[in-house]
Amino acid sequence: MAKNSPSPTAAKEPASYEDALRELEQLVASMEGGQLPLDRMIDSYRRGAELLAYCRGRLEAVEAQVKVLEDGQLKPWIAG
């Protein structure tokens, strides 16, 4: 039954967006390497989905803050 329980890493929320992105990149690299056993591949995919959801949530939160700062109107980003 221990195989079906989530690993401690899978339940841990990243400390920051950057940490989540770094871990996600490492997971993708290891999965693309094709050397992971099937069970680890599935666990990595699950963790990747969690990290992706976390990153999307953080980006949406930042976008909402920008809207407030721009008086409710999201203006196009101009790199400068």
Neighbours of 51 (CB within 10 A): 23
Q: Are 44 and 30 in contact (CB under 8 A)?
A: yes
The answer to whether the Cα torsion of 70, 73, 77, 80 is positive or negative is negative
Mean pLDDT by 10 residues, the chain (80 residues): 46 89 95 91 95 95 83 66
The pLDDT, as a whole number, for residue 66 is 83
Q: Which residue has the tokens 């976390």?
A: 54
CA distance linking residue 11 with residue 61, whole number of Å: 21
Note the pLDDT of residue 10.
45
The per-residue pLDDT for 80 is 57
Q: What is the pLDDT of residue 34?
A: 87
